[in-house]
Amino acid sequence: MDKIVIVGGGECGARAAFALREMGFDGVITMIGAEPHFPYERPPLSKSGLAGPPRYVANPERYEEEKIDILVGVPAEAIDRQAKQVRLSDGRTLFYDKLLLATGARPRSLPGLSDRSSGRIRMLRSLGDAGAIRKALAPGKTLAVIGGGFIGLEIAATARNLGAEVILLERSPRVLSRGVPGEIAEVIAERHRQGGVKIMCGEQIASVVDGSDEAQILLANGATERADLVVVGIGAVPNVELAEAAGLLIDNGIAVDGTLRTSDPDIFAAGDCCSFPLSLYGNRRVRLEAWRNAQDQGTAAAANLLGRGEGFAGVPWFWSDQYELTLQIAGLFDDAATTVRRSLDERAFILFHLDGEGRLIAASGVGPGNAVARDIRLAEMLIAARRRLDPAALACSKTNLKKLLAA
């Protein structure tokens, strides 16, 4: 094997390319990126990236040093599995021995709107999006955010820090309704209210009108909200079109096995675009849109492109920074039978989630700065070790989690 092609110019693809070199692969590595930029980190786009320069995964010189050929601004258009070729938008054809699809995901469109409306209605996925949104974040401007998930709330916090007025609309009864416990979501929502964000939950949107002077959001109840800019942040859709056209199995993303191999033995997929069986949770098939997962799966895919056949068994981990608060979640808590609260101080706490057999399956926490980081990291290790724990011990702030791990 001497040619590996990686389709996707983001965190996952870049991590895989560098990991291949670290693991001793000395053949040809070609990365294909649709955007006209070297790979950059997407999480900061809704935070510091709205207020400052991008954060690149690696300096451009490092790709040259590691002999990684990277093509930017050239989308892949088709995969010929029989000939083992990838056709690019400029007409070029690349041959591969092994292929990695790290095509990521794109923002979900609001029904009735195109993927890209005019200047006053935006979605956030790329550097170009961040730059356009940044121009509208200033004192005297009003931003309307549709969607009360991580992205929407992070944009709202950044906008308030830059002086803009913010309206946030969420159709569910509360913000962070997917993947975050209600107790923690309420802490985040209250901090936004204190920061001046107008949060409107349970609101159904009838239409969004892009006018010459303002955007108007027409609600199902007849009310109208006005803003200088509307940002739609209602989730993401995996980019599976290339894989689907090539006949690969699709199941809430490009379906892969425990080694990240697709239904074609010479093609792997990793990151936001793929769904995979999570062994820690009974091989439940999941798709994770998370920075850590993109990194970890990039490294795991590199190993398995080289034939190591290693199963991927990472603990899901998510985080979000909003104002001075940091929210962290390790594991999946939706099947928890018991939840106990552990107070760290007056502003920080962790919820431990156990299944019916007393096994720790998730931990979620919130607090200023790094207040919950250490305990969430230890909880992550306890989850990976499949530990059964005493709920009362977890709830007690004097219990040393490191000692529980060592026991």
Instruction: Give the pLDDT confidence of 295-336 residue by residue, as tens digits.
Output: 999 999 999 999 999 999 889 999 999 999 999 999 999 999
pLDDT (tens digit per residue) in 363-401: 999 999 999 999 999 999 999 999 999 999 999 999 999
pLDDT, residue 380, reads: 97
Range of the domain at 101: 3-106+236-305
285 lies in the same domain as 247: yes
Task: Give the distance between the most distant pair of CA atoms in the chain.
Answer: 65
- Domain boundary (232, 261, 287) is at 232
- In a domain, residue 318? The reply is no
89 lies in the same domain as 141: no
106, 237 in Cβ contact below 8 A?
A: yes
Among candidate residues 104, 69, 97, 70, the one with its CA nearest the CA of residue 81 = 97
pLDDT, residue 216, reads: 93
pLDDT (tens digit per residue) in 117-157: 457 899 998 888 898 899 889 999 999 999 999 999 999 99
| DSSP H helices in 82-210 | 127-134, 150-161, 182-194
Q: Is the pLDDT of residue 115 over 50?
A: no
Least trusted range by pLDDT, from 41-50, 57-66, 367-376: 41-50
Question: Residue 113 — pLDDT band, cuts 50, 70, 90?
Answer: low
Q: How many domains does the chain have?
A: 3
Distance in angstroms (rounded) separating the CA atoms of residues 7 and 32: 5
Query: Is 406 exposed, middle or buried, given 0-12, 13-18 or 19+ CB atoms closer than 10 A?
Result: exposed
Q: Is the pLDDT of residue 116 over 50?
A: no
Q: What is the mean pLDDT of residues 58-75?
A: 96
21 lies in the same domain as 65: yes
Q: Within a 13 Å sphere around the CA of 307, how many CA atoms are in the beta-carbon half?
A: 4
| DSSP helix/strand/coil, 82 | coil
Q: What is the mean pLDDT of residues 29-34?
A: 97
149, 189 in Cβ contact below 8 A?
A: no
pLDDT, residue 211, reads: 80
Q: Is the pLDDT of residue 269 over 50?
A: yes
- Domain boundary (276, 305, 334) is at 305
Q: Is the pLDDT of residue 21 over 50?
A: yes
66 lies in the same domain as 214: no
* Both structure tokens of 285: 């098939």
157, 192 in Cβ contact below 8 A?
A: yes
227 lies in the same domain as 141: yes
pLDDT, residue 54, reads: 81
* Both structure tokens of 83: 């000939």
Displacement of CA 331 from its chain's centroid (Å): 15
- In a domain, residue 212? The reply is yes
Strands 3-7 and 28-33: parallel
123 lies in the same domain as 100: no
| DSSP helix/strand/coil, 278 | strand
Distance in angstroms (rounded) separating the CA atoms of residues 59 and 70: 12
For 50-77, the DSSP string reads GTS---BSS-HHHHHHTTEEEEES--EE
Q: Is the pLDDT of residue 15 over 80?
A: yes
pLDDT (tens digit per residue) in 201-239: 999 999 998 887 899 999 999 999 999 999 999 999 999
According to DSSP, the residues that pair with 4 across neighbouring strands are: 29, 98
Q: What is the mean pLDDT of residues 17-36?
A: 97
Identify the residue whose tokens are 């009003």.
142
Among candidate residues 291, 292, 311, 289, the one with its CA nearest the CA of residue 300 = 311
- In a domain, residue 315? The reply is no
Q: Is the pLDDT of residue 350 over 50?
A: yes
Domain CATH number, residue 54: 3.50.50.60
Identify the residue whose tokens are 């990684």.
68
| DSSP helix/strand/coil, 341 | strand
* Both structure tokens of 343: 């107070």
Q: Is the pTM of this model over 0.85?
A: yes
Average pLDDT, the chain: 94
Displacement of CA 392 from its chain's centroid (Å): 33
pLDDT, residue 187, reads: 98
223 lies in the same domain as 118: yes
Q: What is the mean pLDDT of residues 62-70?
A: 97
168, 234 in Cβ contact below 8 A?
A: no
81 lies in the same domain as 179: no
- Domain boundary (217, 232, 247) is at 232
100 lies in the same domain as 116: no
* CA pseudo-torsion sign 262, 268, 269, 271: positive
